[in-house]
Structure 1
């Protein structure tokens, strides 16, 4: 199946395929000191295990206990969070990405039999069986997509999760009201994009995300403040539960 340019995916795929070729681990987890191949696979994957442990701890605080069956890591990149989900005991982890070069790196550095990395070229996520996942998780991914495309993916998450399963996703809200955020607002969009090596940033106000989740028939369990988008953006981690059967 080809990439439909009308969705905005074509440009996203082109950017992340290039970044996956140039410096895949840094592109997934940007750190000035790690640019130019500074991440080792062990260090990189360890951050994913820590993030997933934190996520599962937060779910437990909310009284949520996803079955450790199939987890989907959307926008898996070089496999950081897929590895973390496998380490946490999920028996099957489907890592989805639009970039062949990112998936190549994930298959190279992730040695976990539970992980199955798949190329996802369309916003319907039809490479994953409907109602098959116990947990869908994505972080630092939707923020790099045009808003309507990101929302299409969120709708797709609720098609691939089981009734009563959990969908957890991070999304920026708006540029931060601090010096860094004000500086960002002042930059022309093309310049801001060049400074981020082609990575776009987009946000949706929390009210818009709540409406989207309600449209999908899901329950919002939490909208936690989050720092994944960096100091220039406000961001939330949304913890949701799909409608029961």
Structure 2
């Protein structure tokens, strides 16, 4: 999946059911999230995460933070309670429209639309914290490999990266991979073929997918970019989807 296709998937999700797309609670599908409850989960997630960061990096400066994959600003708003300035970045313009609408601290929180496989919109050494939860798991592996070194590049000396990423994902159900080589009509065959290639190049109609990188590769990418690993914390997404939270730091 290329960056354009990823963007199209998330633009569609932002139009159809944006808050559930950000936080997929089973009972909230179909625009069932209440905004106060939705943003309260961001406060709780950020407070718990910052407490973990403080345990490992108590001297971390709290001036400027980057919320990567910010969506509608669920975590950006919460980070602004601790950081003087927060920048949320996302691939979907529609998500950012909603983030701006819900922005309760515009003097502290801003949002940037990024459709590149890098973070070149930000100069090196821009942030004390790069923060990302339940985002990288929805980005194809090749793009994850592009973004992780960029996380290090935009860190200030002594800055910290805190992100979550699965180590493996469950296989796609056999039913989802079935293909009939004998459709009843040529029109059906052409429709299937055309739809398959249309989805491949645009992402329209694609579901939200899970992606992963093994621990050793994550460590290698960060170390090659100049960061050292501080902690790896087991935090599974589901019983069949193991996941870690990574804390890495750029040397001073």
TM-score, length basis structure 1: 0.86
Find the aligned partners of 1:125 and 1:42 in 2 and give their Cα distance: 31
User: Over alpha carbons, which structure has the higher Rg?
Assistant: 2
| Match runs of 1:89-128 below 5 Å | 89-113=82-106, 114-128=108-122
Conserved? CA contact 1:59–1:65, under 8 Å: no
Find the aligned partners of 2:174 and 2:58 in 1 and give their Cα distance: 41
- 1:238 aligned residue: 246
CA-CA distance at 1:185 after TM superposition: 4.9
Displacement over 4 Å in runs of 4+:
188-191
CA-CA distance at 1:201 after TM superposition: 1.1
1:206 aligns with 2:215: yes
1:76 aligns with 2:70: yes
CA-CA distance at 1:186 after TM superposition: 4.2
CA-CA distance at 1:162 after TM superposition: 0.5
Find the aligned partners of 2:79 and 2:224 in 1 and give their Cα distance: 28
TM-score, length basis structure 2: 0.84
**Structure 2 portions without partners, runs of 5+:** 179-204
CA-CA distance at 1:42 after TM superposition: 1.1
Find the aligned partners of 1:127 and 1:146 in 2 and give their Cα distance: 21
- 1:142 aligned residue: 136
| Match runs of 1:1-245 below 5 Å | 8-87=2-81, 89-113=82-106, 114-175=108-169, 181=170, 184-187=171-174, 198-227=207-236, 229-244=237-252
Q: Give per-residue Cα distances to partners, 1:32-85, cap 9 Å, x unaligned.
A: 111111112211111111111111111122143321111000000010010110
Q: Give per-residue Cα distances to partners, 1:152-205, cap 9 Å, x unaligned.
A: 111111111101100111111013xxxxx4xx45446668xxxx9611111111
3-state DSSP class of the match of 1:209?
Answer: helix
Find the aligned partners of 1:149 and 1:26 in 2 and give their Cα distance: 23
Conserved? CA contact 2:54–2:60, under 8 Å: no
Taking a change above 3 Å as real, the CA distance of residues 186 and 37 of structure 1, as seen in their structure-2 partners, is closer
**Mean alpha-carbon deviation: is it higher for 63-72 or for 216-225?**
63-72
Conserved? CA contact 2:153–2:225, under 8 Å: no
RMSD (Å), alpha carbons: 2.1
